[in-house]
Amino acid sequence: MPRRYAKSSGCAIHVNSMSELFTAGGNRKIDLLLSARFRSFFYQTVLAVLVIFVGWYFVSNATRNLLELGVASGFGFLAREAGFEIGETTLLSYSAIDTYSRALLVGILNTLHVAALAIVFSTVIGLLIGLARLSSNWLLARLAAAYVEMIRNVPLVVQLFFLYAVITESLPAPAEALRPMPGVFFSNRGLAFPTFVSLLPIVLEHPQFSGFNFAGGGSLSPEFTTLLFGLSLYTAAFIAEIVRAGLRSIDPGQLEAGYSLGLSSRQITRFVVVPQALRVIIPPMTSQFLNCTKNSSLAVAIGYPDLVSIANTTINQTGQAIEGVVIIMAVYLTISLTVAGLMNWYNRSVALRGSPT
Amino acid sequence: MNLNRRSKGIEPLSWLRARLFANWFSSLVTVTLLALAWRFFPPLVDWALIEAVWSPEKPRLCRELMGQGACWAFVADKYRFILFGTYPAESHWRPALAISILIALYILSAYRHSRGSRLVVAWLAGLVVVGWLMCGGLLGLSYVENERWGGLTLTLLLSTCGLAFAFPLALVLAFARRSELPIVRWSAIAYIELIRGVPLVSVLFMASVMLPLFLPAGVSIDKLLRAQLAMILFAAAYLAEVVRGGLQAIPRQQDEAARALGLNYWQRTRFVILPQALRIAIPPLVNTCIGFFKDTSLVVIIGLFDFLTTIKVSLGEPAWTGFGVEAYLFAATGYFLFCFPMSRYSQTLEQQRAPGMGMDRVRSIGEVR
């Protein structure tokens, strides 16, 4: 970074040009011009021209190609009728006669739905596994370590395919569904569970088996169940490592100091360990939450209609490739920036006052 | 929580007591885990090994034993397709040799004493030979178009070439992001953050549906090259951030000292900054490589015949439908065999670095202004 010197002090400029005196042989004024401001101006201009040229080249090609294909560019297609069904419309009613914009909205909501739930589950599971890895029980610690290694060294999409195969091939039909808990049914049609009809008094609506599937209560499709389980278990392995590193970052002396002050071990955890560990844990946790959201786009591989999957269908039907990809990228960037912003805000509230983080 | 990791000098005989039955909670956990293992382990062994069908001649037997025994016959029947894709059968030795060369290069790179310019030469030579073996058309080998490349070979090629081309780009991006020139810096920031903000799936879609529109009529890039391009552009953004982390760890005084010696910008970068920065960045770089290797499996979405896709496609054959559990267990094992050694390697490097290099001390001195 020679520029910093050139700007900051005259002495450095002198040294800079001295070293070049040996090579250029004395033409100091021109060297100075070449080495400092001129070069900076030159490089930046070249880069700007290059970027603009490549951009212009792509845009002009795209315009010509689209014209030849007869595709009208722009977002006008959003108001047209979509004409395809979506398998899962839990959060927003939708049918084939609705518009593309509504279809994409369903996709966005589906992405947010699965990502939000997966973030919650993976945090809980990750915390437990991180604690298990630090357990004094050898068996538990080894088991947690094996889990982390197994999950982290296999691609998520393979895990999703595997889970999907387990659910659709190995689980029994709804008539003989597994019942891990009373009222909860796990079958090759997904997960069925009781829902609250009212909270006071507590009234539950249990899923009832009728014909070929369950009716009543709540249910999750095999695709959603796969994605939720897969994402949660995958992200949990990464979160476990973050939790472990965070807890190990605390000096044992801190605990000893706490004990010598007469704090109970619960108080030490609450007032000594957790606040300090959170400072180490929050920043990498943010990127895991973002990864989890981005990884939910793998839904397209198992046929869960998330944003990417619906945008892909839209692109195939309308030929509006550029607009489709722009929508996908805009939505993910918005989600990324929002989550990052929220987590930074939370991080500031747990950080040491006056510290730069 | 065992936060206090000080050795207590446990004697061998009391190991069990200390590690498994230290208190009532620990004992409860041990007993529960053993009970679970007793309940689930024997049926699993039965299914995976004892009752399993191994011989590929009996797909019907697989179906009869469905649910009781695993059907490894699937793997035994399809292994050539899974390893080499649709590569001409009489030339399977070529991708096999290519895989061996690539694996040999990975192992060579992991040895401490083989770093440096010699390694770069070995890689370049290795990649040229691999390219020649795969493409052919020269020196007596018949030409094979890249649509026929597939299976594990394609996975290794995609990840190796992807990283090989992404790394130089990442170096440029990392330096650009630290540049004093605003336009250069902001271009790098915009690129890196844009790529890191979107999922790889969308970048792959972009390459497969959007890229053809951006090219002039008549010019076309084949599917494999487009996917490879997308993966390079994607990996570069992530690698650049790791390299930048390494660059940030180098104290400013190193640069100033090199300047005082009269080295110019390129000399300082080449001989002083970069070697130190890369050494610090190796463990996170290896982790990024693992992530990238795993990410190559996403080409299944745009229909390239890599390791995972060949397995998925094989499952579509009538004889083998319904054996997804076995097939994907095999796929998981395959990826694990590559990723786990890499992850162990990066962990070893991190542990080696922690006490020996005194890097933390150097860094803390560098922080004093």
Q: What is the 3-state secondary structure (H, E, C) of A130-181?
A: HHHHCCCCHHHHHHHHHHHHHHHCCCHHHHHHHHHHHHHHHCCCHHHCECCC
Question: Are A92 and A112 a contacting pair, CB within 8 Å?
Answer: no
The number of domains in chain A is: 2
Residue A284 and residue A277: Cα distance in Å, rounded?
12
Residues B132 and B253 in one domain: no
Residue A17: the pLDDT is 45
Q: Do A315 and B205 touch (CB under 8 A)?
A: yes
Residues B129 and B190 in one domain: no
Assigned domain for A84 exists? no
Residues A148 and A15 in one domain: no
Q: Which of A152-161, A322-331, B53-62, B140-149 has the highest average model confidence (pLDDT)?
A: A152-161
**Sign of torsion over alpha carbons B209, B214, B220, B221:** negative
Q: Which of A25-29, A264-268, A281-285 has the lowest mean pLDDT?
A: A25-29
Domain region containing A26: 2-53
Q: Give whole-number Cα distances, B346 to B31, B120, B168, in Å.
A: 35, 20, 21
Domain region containing B186: 144-320+332-356
Q: B127 CA to chain A: closest CA distance, Å?
A: 25
Q: Give whole-number Cα distances, B271 to A350, B263, B268, B276, in Å.
A: 41, 9, 6, 9
pLDDT at A352 over 90: no
User: B279: which 2 tokens?
Assistant: 């050494």
Residues A130 and A44 in one domain: no
Q: How much is the average pLDDT of B272-290?
A: 87
ipTM higher than threshold 0.95: no
Assigned domain for B156 exists? yes
Residue B81 and residue B150: Cα distance in Å, rounded?
8
Q: In terms of C-beta distances under 8 Å and separation of at least 24 residues, what long-range contacts does B180-186 make, across chains too?
A: B180/A1, B180/A3, B180/A4, B180/A7, B180/A40, B181/A3, B181/A40, B181/A43, B181/A44, B182/A44, B183/A44, B183/A47, B183/A48, B184/A43, B184/A44, B184/A47
User: A249: which 2 tokens?
Assistant: 């970052």
Q: How confident is the model at residue B301 (pLDDT cuts 50, 70, 90)?
A: confident
Q: Do B217 and A131 touch (CB under 8 A)?
A: no
Q: Which of A40-54, B44-58, B194-208 has the lowest mean pLDDT?
A: B44-58
* Distance, C-alpha B160 to centroid of its chain: 9
Q: B1 CA to chain A: closest CA distance, Å?
A: 5
Q: How much is the average pLDDT of A138-163?
A: 93
Assigned domain for A355 exists? no
Q: Report H helices in chain B.
A: 15-20, 24-45, 59-64, 73-84, 93-110, 117-135, 151-177, 182-197, 200-205, 211-214, 223-248, 252-260, 265-267, 274-295, 307-315, 324-356, 359-367
Cβ-based contacts of A295 with chain B (< 8 Å)? 199
Query: Which of B209, B299, B313, B326 is best to mutate for the A interface (most A CBs within 10 A)?
Result: B209
Residue A25: the pLDDT is 47
Count CA within 13 A, CB hemisphere, residue B132: 11
Residue B115: the pLDDT is 61
Number of other residues whose CB lies within 10 A of the CB of residue B335 = 22
Q: How confident is the model at residue B222 (pLDDT cuts 50, 70, 90)?
A: confident
Q: Which residue of B lies nearest to A148 if distances are taken between CA atoms?
A: B340
Question: Are B233 and B195 a contacting pair, CB within 8 Å?
Answer: yes
Residue B138 and residue A195: Cα distance in Å, rounded?
68
Assigned domain for A157 exists? yes
Residue indicated by tokens 């309940």: B39
Query: Which of A153, A160, A293 is best to mutate for the B interface (most B CBs within 10 A)?
Result: A153
User: A323: which 2 tokens?
Assistant: 């607009």
Q: B51 CA to chain A: closest CA distance, Å?
A: 16
Q: In terms of C-beta distances under 8 Å and separation of at least 24 residues, what long-range contacts does A193-199 make, across chains too?
A: A193/A217, A193/A218, A193/A219, A193/A220, A194/A218
Cβ-based contacts of B47 with chain A (< 8 Å)? none
Q: How much is the average pLDDT of A88-94?
A: 76
Helices A274-295/A321-350 angle, 10° precision:
170
More confident residue, A195 or A263: A263
Q: Which of A9-18, A133-142, A241-250, B194-203 has the lowest mean pLDDT?
A: A9-18
Q: How much is the average pLDDT of A3-22?
A: 44
Question: Are B235 and B281 a contacting pair, CB within 8 Å?
Answer: no
User: A317: which 2 tokens?
Assistant: 């039907």
Q: Do B2 and A136 touch (CB under 8 A)?
A: yes
Q: Which of A194-198, A226-230, B51-55 has the highest average model confidence (pLDDT)?
A: A226-230
Residue B3 and residue B26: Cα distance in Å, rounded?
16
Assigned domain for B76 exists? no
Assigned domain for B14 exists? no
Cβ-based contacts of A58 with chain B (< 8 Å)? 214
Cβ-based contacts of A138 with chain B (< 8 Å)? 19-20
Average pLDDT score, chain A: 81
pLDDT in tens, A213-246: 677 667 788 899 999 999 999 999 999 999 998 9
Residues B276 and B298 in one domain: yes
Average pLDDT score, chain B: 82
Q: Give whole-number Cα distances, A121 to A64, A107, A217, B97, B354, in Å.
A: 48, 21, 21, 45, 34
Helices A156-165/B324-356 angle, 10° precision:
150
Phi-psi region of B4 (alpha: psi -120 to 50; beta: other; left: phi over 0): beta
Residues B203 and B101 in one domain: no
Residues A258 and A121 in one domain: yes
Residues A150 and A278 in one domain: yes
Assigned domain for B34 exists? no
Assigned domain for A307 exists? yes
pLDDT at B194 over 60: yes
**Which of B3, B30, B295 is the closest to A137 by Cβ?**
B30
Q: Whole-model pTM above 0.90?
A: no
Residue A340: the pLDDT is 79
Q: Do A15 and B259 touch (CB under 8 A)?
A: yes
The number of domains in chain B is: 2
Cβ-based contacts of B26 with chain A (< 8 Å)? 135-137
Q: Do A333 and B198 touch (CB under 8 A)?
A: yes
pLDDT at B361 over 50: no
**Which of A134, A153, A156 is the closest to B343 by Cβ?**
A153
| Burial degree of A141 (CB within 10 A; 0-12, 13-18, 19+) | middle
Q: Do A161 and B312 touch (CB under 8 A)?
A: yes
Q: How many CB pairs under 8 A join A and B?
A: 199
pLDDT in tens, B2-28: 444 444 555 666 777 777 887 888 888
**CATH number, domain with residue A172:** 1.10.3720.10
Assigned domain for B239 exists? yes
**Sign of torsion over alpha carbons A15, A19, A22, A27:** negative
Q: Do A162 and B329 touch (CB under 8 A)?
A: yes
**Of A84, A108, A112, A87, whose CA–CA distance to A98 is shortest?**
A84
**Which of B3, B197, B210 is the closest to A250 by Cβ?**
B3
Residue A171 and residue B84: Cα distance in Å, rounded?
33
Q: Do A155 and B297 touch (CB under 8 A)?
A: yes
Query: Which of B2, B3, B4, B250 is best to mutate for the A interface (most A CBs within 10 A)?
Result: B3
* Distance, C-alpha B200 to centroid of its chain: 15
End-to-end CA distance of chain A: 26
pLDDT at B59 over 80: no
Assigned domain for B364 exists? no
Q: Which of A61-70, A120-129, A296-305, B179-188 has the highest average model confidence (pLDDT)?
A: A120-129
Residue A100: the pLDDT is 87
pLDDT at A59 over 90: no
Q: Which of A163-167, A274-278, B116-120, B183-187 has the lowest mean pLDDT?
A: B116-120
pLDDT at A252 over 50: yes
Q: Do A170 and B308 touch (CB under 8 A)?
A: no
User: B290: which 2 tokens?
Assistant: 């693992």
Residue B237: the pLDDT is 93
Cβ-based contacts of B178 with chain A (< 8 Å)? 1
| Radius of gyration for chain A, computed over Cα atoms and rounded to the nearest angstrom | 29
Q: How confident is the model at residue A21 (pLDDT cuts 50, 70, 90)?
A: very low
Residues of chain B with pLDDT > 70: what percent? 90
Question: Are A129 and A142 a contacting pair, CB within 8 Å?
Answer: no
